[in-house]
Amino acid sequence: MPAVVEITDLRMSYGGKVAVDGLSLEVAADTITAVLGPNGAGKTTTLETCEGYRRPHEGRVRVLGLDPVADRRALMPRIGVMLQAGGAWSGVRADEMLRHVARLHAHPLDIGLLMDRLALHDCGRTPYRRLSGGQQQRLGLAMALVGRPELVFVDEPTAGLDPQVRRTVWELLEELRADGVTVVLTTHYLEEAERLADQVHILDKGKLVASGSPLELTRGGTVATIRLVVTQPFPPGAPESLASALGAATELVVLDRHSLQVSGPADGSTLAVVSRWCEEHGVLPESLTLGQRNLEDVFLELTGRETTT
Ligand SMILES: Nc1ncnc2c1ncn2[C@@H]1O[C@H](COP(=O)(O)OP(=O)(O)OP(=O)(O)O)[C@@H](O)[C@H]1O
């Protein structure tokens, strides 16, 4: 099956500043694809180029086989776009805005049902500018979905939403995928990408640094996290003694008087050292667990722990 989105050697810059630096990636049909990266990594610029809002400075972008700029008229009815902010007129009521977008499409969804689903029924008559941030966010998602798109681009769809609504949005995106809609999203919530995405692309400074399913990305790796919980409080000097037994390649964090966490090489040696140290120092572990790497660990390994912008 041909890719729904094909990005080849995309380069984008603002003035002299490079925002996207030779990016190539593909999005397969009927999947949820998450584009991840620290602030300023180039995610929004990439999405906006796919949506036809920006012309590639170098490279090529094809969406549903079309050029998003040259074929904009043909493409627009087939895609849904949820921008990171705004997208609606400030004085227009929420239900009017949604009705307006629905009229642009041949077979729109039922507006009442969509508003119910996104818990917008109570604020249909509220002007856009008076909606709360979370309501504006949900209206933006409703506007992206109302035209029954084949492909939706959603930029941080759950930013700032409360946990209940976030789950509703997740379920909605999963239902869309089940109905054959392709979803491309950006998010800073890595557990969201881990739960939803079939494919993850991690960008850093405009370049692709990793691609794969969440399982492929979290399997293996170079760092293991071990948590040690003990029955009696650690004796004085114990963390320092364990840290010196482990050596400089590991990082030890004391969580409280009964527990600590060690991050170190994922080759089994770290766990063996902790276990031997407990035995030699008469420390009785209540539990000694090897933590599973999650997408956040992978993300931080690849993009660094310092704030980039
Ligand atoms: N209109 C613009 N004018 C100038 N620079 C811009 C513009 N839009 C984006 N940039 C810069 O381009 C780079 C990439 O920005 P972009 O918004 O694509 O990143 P992002 O990964 O979406 O970030 P975030 O996670 O913060 O939304 C950043 O350095 C940003 O400051």
pLDDT in tens, 70-96: 999 999 999 999 987 666 777 889 999
| 44 CA distance to ligand 1 middle (Å) | 7
Please list every protein residue whose CB sits less than 6 Å from any atom of ligand 1. Answer: 14, 17, 19, 37, 39-45
pLDDT in tens, 197-245: 999 999 999 999 999 999 888 876 666 788 899 999 998 899 899 999 9
Query: Contact at 8 Å (CB) between 186 and 116?
Result: no
| 154 CA distance to ligand 1 middle (Å) | 16
pLDDT in tens, 116-127: 989 898 888 899
Which amino acid, one-letter code, is at 269? Answer: S
Long-range contacts, stretch 168-171, CB < 8 angstroms, 24+ apart: 168/117, 168/118, 168/119, 169/118, 169/138, 169/141, 170/195, 170/196
pTM of the model: 0.81
State the closest ligand 1 atom to the C-alpha of 84, by its place in the atom list counted from 1.
27
Interface TM-score (ipTM) > 0.90: yes
pLDDT > 70? residue 263: yes
The whole-number pLDDT of residue 227 equals 87
Instruction: Look at ligand 1, atom 25, and give the residue with the nearest C-alpha.
Output: 39
How many whole angstroms from its chain centre is CA 284?
40
The whole-number pLDDT of residue 294 equals 81
CA pair distance 33, 181, nearest whole angstrom: 11
The whole-number pLDDT of residue 86 equals 65
The whole-number pLDDT of residue 269 equals 81
DSSP-derived pairing of the beta strands 58-63 and 199-204 = unpaired
Instruction: Look at ligand 1, atom 27, and give the residue with the nearest C-alpha.
Output: 39
pLDDT in tens, 281-291: 989 999 988 87
Confidence of residue 162 (pLDDT cuts 50, 70, 90): confident
CA pair distance 304, 309, nearest whole angstrom: 12
Q: Can you point out the beta strands (E) in 28-168?
A: 32-36, 58-63, 79-82, 151-155
CA pair distance 92, 296, nearest whole angstrom: 39
Q: What sign results for the dihedral spanned by CA atoms 205, 207, 210, 211?
A: positive
